[in-house]
Amino acid sequence: MAANEAPLRIIHCFRSPVGGIFRHVRDLVERHAAEGHAVGILCDSSTGGAHEEKLFEALLPHLSLGLNRLPIRRAISPSDLVALQASYRHIKSLKPDILHGHGAKGGVVVRLIGSLLRVNRYCVARLYSPHGGSLHYDRNRPSGQVVLRLERFLERFTDQLVFVCDFERRTYEAKVGRPRIPAQVIYNGITDDEFAAIPTGPDGADFLYIGMMRDLKGPDVFIDAFETVERSLGRPLSAVMVGDGPDKERYRQRIHARGLSDRLTLHDAMPAREAFAMAKIVVVPSRAEAMPYIVLEALAAEKPLIATRVGGIPEVMGEESPALAAPGDAAGLARLMGQALTEPGWKERAMPRPDDFRSVFSASHMAGDMMQLYRKLLTDQSSKLS
């Protein structure tokens, strides 16, 4: 922060403290707090487990504006009005300069509360990052029409859209419409200390799935692909699945029913770098994504990676990457898993060049670009109020 620049008061709002959104916010919080800015978080109190509690514990020293958790449901419900009222009182008391909403529910909270503050000529900038969220909805379904029209309506209460990848920007244009307000792509990034190879432990498995245990992320596809690649190679293999989520027990039953329990094991959520040491090859079988951090983390750890051609993943891996399968295609995923396991030199041919990757997907670049945007928005807002 330059000597003539005042520190900012920044609040990040999001619903679920799990996965990529939480990782994105943590990186911004740590970077901006280290620069002297005051930062706070408002999020849901009903999601997350022991792993997330440890992450919050580590983050608390950076949150000079505090951590406020209250019940925020995934689906739209009458209880949202209670949460919104409580959020308004809390945020108003903190007198923020920046309100940054992440995901659909976080975006609603920030834009409505920020707009209420603006009615009283309070100088606050309202930013919204979809992170996939409502953009996963099908515009041809009634529920999708409602959600996407609401996104369009909320543009009038938004100062800036921030997309984490170009795919997210294109999806917004296709489903919601060309933005009528300023929009910018700022890629997710990871910290400098994560750019270090993680060797596989002596008892490491062949494959690792790490992420949310819900169908959108493709754990069921991973299980099917694992069974298929075993059959195609004609020998038993091993895999671990790491994560928590609403469908975990169903996957456990699927593994048991296929007779795979002795070779495919489930583990609770843990730090990604701990999980990377548990297997040789990381597999990301998602049906939909925006810009998944797990892809960035795996590449920084120099792990061979197989993923699906969804979201911003091709922007990281390369549009013509041989390590990408079609979403939901267990047979195609199994074919790549077999190649990665048996073909000499596969990793060198399929993975992006480390220097090129690091030059784009760095947390310091991400946080710096975001801070420039915050200050520009505040300057513009101050000019309008003066």
Give me the residues paired with residue 279 across strands.
205
Length of the chain counted residue by residue: 386
183: its two tokens: 């929009």
Place 79 in a pLDDT band, splitting at 50, 70 and 90.
low
Mean pLDDT value across the chain: 92
* 193-360 shares the fold of 9-189+362-385: yes
The pTM assigned to this predicted structure is 0.83
Per-domain boundaries in the chain:
9-189+362-385, 193-360
Q: How far is CA 265 from CA 106, 217, 253, 277, in A?
A: 34, 18, 12, 15
Superfamily covering domain 9-189+362-385 = Glycogen Phosphorylase B; (3.40.50.2000)
Place 294 in a pLDDT band, splitting at 50, 70 and 90.
very high
Q: pLDDT per residue over 273-290, tens digit each?
A: 999 999 999 999 999 888
| CA gap 211, 217 in Å, rounded | 7
* Topology at the third CATH level for domain 193-360: Rossmann fold (3.40.50)
Q: Classify 226 in phi/psi space as left (phi over 0), alpha (psi -120 to 50) or beta.
A: alpha
| CA gap 370, 135 in Å, rounded | 22
- Rounded mean pLDDT, 87-91: 87
Q: pLDDT per residue over 5-45, tens digit each?
A: 899 999 999 988 887 899 999 999 999 999 999 999 999 88
Q: Classify 158 in phi/psi space as left (phi over 0), alpha (psi -120 to 50) or beta.
A: beta
Q: pLDDT per residue over 102-128, tens digit each?
A: 998 899 999 999 999 988 778 899 999
Place 386 in a pLDDT band, splitting at 50, 70 and 90.
low
pLDDT at 78 over 80: no
Burial bucket for residue 18 (CB in 10 Å: 0-12, 13-18, 19+): buried
Q: Are 135 and 171 in contact (CB under 8 A)?
A: yes
Alpha-carbon torsion, ordered 360, 362, 366, 368, to 10 deg: -110
For residue 148, what pLDDT is reported? 94
The one-letter code for the residue type at 203 is: D
- Rounded mean pLDDT, 82-88: 80
The kind and range of the H/E element at 39 are strand 38-44
Q: Are 131 and 386 in contact (CB under 8 A)?
A: no
Place 76 in a pLDDT band, splitting at 50, 70 and 90.
low
Q: pLDDT per residue over 335-352, tens digit each?
A: 999 999 999 999 999 999
